[in-house]
Chains A and B, each alone.
Chain A
Amino acid sequence: MTYAIIAYVSSGLLWAAYLLLLAVRIHRARRGS
């Protein structure tokens, strides 16, 4: 059970971090245009 929770939470955190970084990159690119 613990491994399943770790798998879902770590995947969620990974996606959250990536999407946050992507939002920052888009914001910077649009400000540069």
Chain B
Amino acid sequence: MKESIPGWWSKGAVWLWAVAVGMVSASLWLVVARAPVESVMGPVQKIVYIHVPSAIAASIAFGLTFAAGIAYLATRQWQWDALGASSAEIGLMFATVVMVTGPLWARSAWNTWWTWEPRLTTFFILWILYAAYLIIRSSLRGGSRRTISAVMGIVFAILVPIVYMSVTWWRGSLHPRNVTMTGDMRFVLQFSILAWLCFYAAALACRFRLEWAAEAAAREGDQAFHEARLAGEASR
């Protein structure tokens, strides 16, 4: 088997994972040991330290898919398509964490698992769209797969600022607009955001490796096909 992925990429990914795992572990320790218990909501408020970083990471991931989509349509290089698809998949995972942790917090804070208020509804639509992105992409083959994926990545990302602004634009939102924190609570949240962004970078490097290996396999397959075809024509 021919190694198609350069050694520096693999080594870099290992270091990135080491930093990410270390930082996420430290952030979890800070959540337990240093973050103060909120006076009104109690310990359940500590969900914020995974809910908000995951929402930010998902937004950045979908933003990168948007940028990679534009770059692919401009250059037609497979790396941009691979980056966009990888980021969309990791972003969907972060969005799923938001969808799991949100209702658990809502049950305690609002006495309901789910309500069709603007922020929750728009985020749910965002989650569905990126799930659809991956399903549609997996069902396509050939050159159209990359072009359609790039277009979907660009179009679907329009919803990201709508999700952010939904609490301002529409009335009746239960979701808080901006979380204002001070002291240890603020520090732990900021550290958690940084830690989960490192985790996003490490997961993205890992997912990109899959696209790289798949691309190498496809190229070797094409080459073997052409060689067999040339050998067949020569023997006639």
Contact with A along B189-226 (1 / 0, CB 8 A): 00000000000000100110110011011001000000
Q: Contact: A22 with B207, CB < 8 Å?
A: yes
Query: Once the chains are docked, how many angstroms separate the CA of A31 from the CA of B203?
Result: 21
Q: How many residues of B contact A (CB 8 A)?
A: 33
Give the segment of B41-49, B62-70, B152-160 that binds chain A. B41-49
Q: Contact: B44 with A8, CB < 8 Å?
A: no
Q: Contact: A25 with B47, CB < 8 Å?
A: no
Contact with B along A12-33 (1 / 0, CB 8 A): 0011001100100110011111
Chain A residues with CB under 8 Å of B105's CB are 3, 7
Give the segment of B73-81, B95-103, B142-150 that binds chain A. B95-103
State whether the Cβ of B34 lies closer than 8 Å to any Cβ in chain A: no
State whether the Cβ of B107 lies closer than 8 Å to any Cβ in chain A: yes
Query: Once the chains are docked, how many angstroms separate the CA of A25 from the CA of B217?
Result: 13
- Chain A interface residues (CB < 8 Å from chain B): 1, 3-4, 6-8, 10-11, 14-15, 18-19, 22, 25-26, 29-33
- Chain B interface residues (CB < 8 Å from chain A): 1-2, 4, 28, 31, 42-47, 50-51, 54, 93, 96-97, 100-101, 104-105, 107-108, 203, 206-207, 209-210, 213-214, 216-217, 220
Question: Shortest 8 CB-CB distances between A and B: which pairs?
Answer: A29-B213, A33-B217, A7-B101, A1-B43, A3-B104, A33-B216, A32-B217, A7-B104
